Amino acid sequence: MRAPWAGPARVLDGTATAAAIKAELATRVAALGQLGVVPGLGTVLVGEDPGSVRYVAGKHADCAEVGIASIRVDLPATATQAEVVEAVDALNADPSCTGYIVQLPLPAGIDTNAVLERVDPAKDADGLHPTNLGRLVLRTSGPITSPLPCTPRACIELMTRHGIELEGATVCVVGRGVTVGRSIGLLLGRKDVNATVEVCHTGTRDLDEHLRRADVVIAAAGVAGIVTAEAVRPGAVVLDVGVSRVVDPATGRGRIMGDVADGVDEVASWLSPNPGGVGPMTRALLLANVVEAAERGSRDAGAA
Ligand SMILES: Nc1nc(=O)c2c([nH]1)NC[C@@H]1CN(c3ccc(C(=O)N[C@@H](CCC(=O)O)C(=O)O)cc3)C=[N+]21
């Protein structure tokens, strides 16, 4: 991929890497097909938030690419707690659904944690169910035997597939949201990755001092431009995970802005573009969770 910036930083190409992962998954889906198993991804979308509608559509397009069946459940923004829970229970009971997500955010008035706890942990494609987050805490090395959070896994795969060494590296994560900042440290610190992790956030005093010491910066605060060129150590690897929608004053049109400011491309050795970086990788690893759940299911059935 041609760099979307002028500086010397090399591109962590999420679009191309996601395509490679999807090709590998298509092979595994075909092997499952030989056993009569078809993985199926379900989505529960409540309301019509334009961003959420687009993401959900993207996930179903990805499924079609690798041969995963799609199950779409769309509820109106006026859906009650009981109706959302009913949709979750139906997917838990549906044997054609091997994994699913409840698209977040849910409308105000819905108890999100209650909905997410209701998901069958074996079908948790996001890897964010308390049981699976607990397994992430308890299993500090070894093979992947439960779904992992998609974006953290996406960040690690994006680096390792570009030959970046994380063993012994110091990683500074900016952001403490559950989907990225809170869970990525657990993965990076596992013995088989062996990085040292610091989780900073918008309340960190002297954030730039923490950033300057890092070999790898993972910017996931959702604050446009919070990671500046002055704060990044020359040669560091920088992943831009945050997404803010801003109106470009030059064109008057909306566009995506990441957490990484202009100019970081001049000092970083590797940089992930946004869009085209961690986003497509997150989607690919969501599919990986669905395929792995189907593989575990067919192994368990074989063992029974
Ligand atoms: N239960 C749940 N699971 C999620 O994984 C989840 C969610 N809810 N709610 C919203 C966030 C956001 N998210 C994105 C994933 C991929 C791109 C992505 O592929 N973005 C493209 C650009 C797409 C565009 O045009 O906007 C890119 O970065 O190149 C973006 C955002 C998953 N989320």
pLDDT in tens, 5-34: 999 999 999 999 999 999 999 999 999 999
Copy the structure tokens of residue 40.
């199926």
Active site residue 81: no
Whether the per-residue pLDDT at 177 is higher than 90: the answer is yes
Domain boundaries, the chain: 37-121, 149-278
Which fold, 149-278? Rossmann fold (3.40.50)
* Beta carbons within 8 Å of 26's beta carbon, 6+ residues apart: 65, 66, 67
Alpha-carbon span 96 to 229, nearest angstrom = 48
Which fold, 37-121? Rossmann fold (3.40.50)
**Residue 5: alpha-carbon gap to chain centroid:** 24
Domains 37-121 and 149-278 share a fold: yes
What pLDDT score was predicted for residue 304? 61
Q: What was the ipTM of the complex prediction?
A: 0.95
Cα angle at 146 between 14 and 128, to 5 degrees?
70
What pLDDT score was predicted for residue 112? 96
3-state SS class at 260? strand
Q: What is the 3-state secondary structure (H, E, C) of 22-90?
A: HHHHHHHHHHHHHCCCCCEEEEEEECCCHHHHHHHHHHHHHHHHHCCEEEEEEECCCCCHHHHHHHHHH
Active site residue 34: no
Whose Cα sits closest to atom 10 in ligand 1? Answer: 104
Residue of 65, 155, 282, 286 with the most ligand 1 atoms within 8 Å of its CB, for mutation: 282
Give bridge partners of residue 40 from the DSSP assignment. 69
> How long a stretch of residues is the chain?
304
What pLDDT score was predicted for residue 22? 98
Whole-model pTM over 0.90:
yes
The catalytic residue among 13, 22, 59, 123 is: 59
- How many other CB atoms sit within 10 Å of the CB of residue 64? 10
What pLDDT score was predicted for residue 302? 76
